[in-house]
Amino acid sequence: MEITRPTSLVEALEARAEDPGADLLAGGTDLMVEVNFGHSRPEHVIALRRIAELAQIDGNRIGAGVTWARLEKSDHRALAQLARTVGSPQIRAAGTIGGNIGTASPAGDGLPWLAAVEAEIEVTSKDRGVRRLPCSEFFTGVKRNALAPDEVITAAILPENVPTNQEFAKIGQRSAMVISTVSACVVRDDDGTVRVALGSVAPTPLRATRAEALIAENPDPSEAVLAEFVRTVSAEVSPITDHRSTESYRRHAAGVLARRLLERCLAR
């Protein structure tokens, strides 16, 4: 195995351009599980943790190399909430938001928030420069994304004026260190517009747009509307049954969780 340890983004992009198949290594918390269990045998690894510019938070730009431990202290309320639920303290010290984006697991804890605040994923290559993709275009399937072989995920770009009213919650069977069976994020603009995104209930982070529309029509929802909101969310998700949970439970819990978060937003 060969390893390249660039200290600048330019060097990293050079390396990636020269060897488009190379594996990108950030915190290692996803890739090394694959390596340890013999599912991945990298031939060339480009290690990204020495690149200072990736590890910066600059206004609406969150560098891909920022760790969850740092994001636990984020001013974005829901981002801090979700960061605290990623793996264990040890995982949060190593794992990065860029790694979470790159792995593109349906259960990726950061993804519902990125989808709910309508962040764009910034990817960069030596030859084609910077591309910014909305979540809906970047995440293409279970552990699949639109990153080209010569690109590196460089940042999550937040829109101007991300609402401060935002809530995240995650259901796992255990109280800590657990993969989500359902996660959700709700954000609410000052004008009452609500966005609802869910994780672990579809191949990619899912925006519950019909449920959002229901609240747009009923910005001060009655109990009946809230009940309809729950039903709508449950209808919009497309979860599966696996060894972690069941399709039916996930559908039910997605609705309940989204309502609770909506109510928390409405109460603020």
Partner 1 sequence: MIVSFNVNGEDRVANVAGSESLLQVLREELGLPGSKNACEQGECGSCSVELDGAIVTSCLVMAADCEGSAVTTIEGIGSDKELHAVQQALIDHGAVQCGFCTPGFVVTAAHLFEKNPHPETNEIKEALSGNICRCTGYGAILRSLEALAEEAR
Partner 2 sequence: MTTSPVTRKRIRGGIGESPLRPDGIPKVTGNFAYASDLHAEGMLWAATLRSPHPRARITKLDTAPALAVGGVVAVLTQDDVPGRPGFGMHVPDQPVFAAGECNYWGEPIAVVAASDLETAKLGVAAIVVEYEVLEPLTDMEEADAADSQTRRMKIRRGDRTVSGAVSVEGYYEVGQQDQAPLGNEAGLAIPDGDGGVDLYAVSQWVHSDHWQIYPCLNLEPEQIRCHPVGMGGAFGSREDVSMHIHLCMLALRTGRPVKMMFDRAESFVGHVHRHPARMWYRHEADADGKLVKVEARLILDGGAYESSSNAVIANAAYFAMGPYLCDNVFIDSVAVKTNNPPAGAMRGFGGVQTAFGHEAQMDRLADELSIDRLEFRRRNALGQGDPMNSSGQIIEGSLPTAELIDELASMPIVEPLASDDPRHLPGGTGLTTNPDHVKRGMGYGVTIKNLAFSEAFDDYSDVRISLSPIGVEVYTAAAEVGQGMVTIIQQLAREVLKIEQVAVVWSDTNVIGSAGSTSASRQTQMTGGATYQCAVELRQQILDEFGGDDLSSEGVWRDGDLLVTLAEVCGGGAKEHEIRYRHPETFATDENGQGDPHPAFAVAAHRAVVDVDPELGLVRVVQLDTVQDVGKVLNPVAALGQIEGGALQGVGMAVLEELVVDKGVIKNPNFTDYLLPTFLDAPHIEVRFVEEPERWGPLGAKGIGEPPTISAGPAVYAAIQDAIGRHLHRVPVLPQHIVGSS
What count of other Cβ atoms lies within 10 Å of the Cβ of residue 30?
21
Please state the closest distance from residue 96 (CB atom) to partner 1, in A: 12
CA angle 173, 178, 180 (to 5 degrees): 75
Q: Which is nearer to partner 1, 8 or 136 (CB)?
A: 8
Piece of 172-180, 184-192, 201-209, 257-265 that binds partner 1 (CB under 8 A) = 172-180
Site string for partner 2, 12-51 (x = CB under 8 A): ---------------------x--xxx-------------
- Give the Cα-Cα-Cα angle 78, 155, 48 (nearest 5 degrees): 115
Burial 150-163 (b: 16+ CB within 10 A, else e): bbbbbbbbbeeebb
Closest contact distance (angstroms) between CB of 19 and partner 1 is 15
Give me the 208-247 binding string for partner 2, x by CB under 8 A, dash otherwise. -----------------------------------xxxx-
H-helix segments, 110-172: 111-116, 135-138
Closer CB to partner 2, 64 or 169, in the complex? 169
Q: Closer to partner 2 by CB, 33 or 216: give it.
A: 33
**Crossing angle for the helix pair 223-236 and 247-266, nearest 10 degrees?**
140
Q: Does 266 bind partner 1 (CB under 8 A)?
A: no
21 binds partner 1 (CB under 8 A): no
* Token code pair at residue 168: 């995240």
Do 99 and 27 meet the contact criterion of CB atoms below 8 Å apart? yes
The region of 14-22, 98-106, 201-209, 255-263 touching partner 2 under the rule CB under 8 A is 255-263
Q: Is 41 in the site for partner 1 (CB under 8 A)?
A: yes
With binding defined as CB under 8 A, does residue 69 bind partner 1? yes
- Distance of alpha carbon 224 from alpha carbon 41, whole angstroms: 54
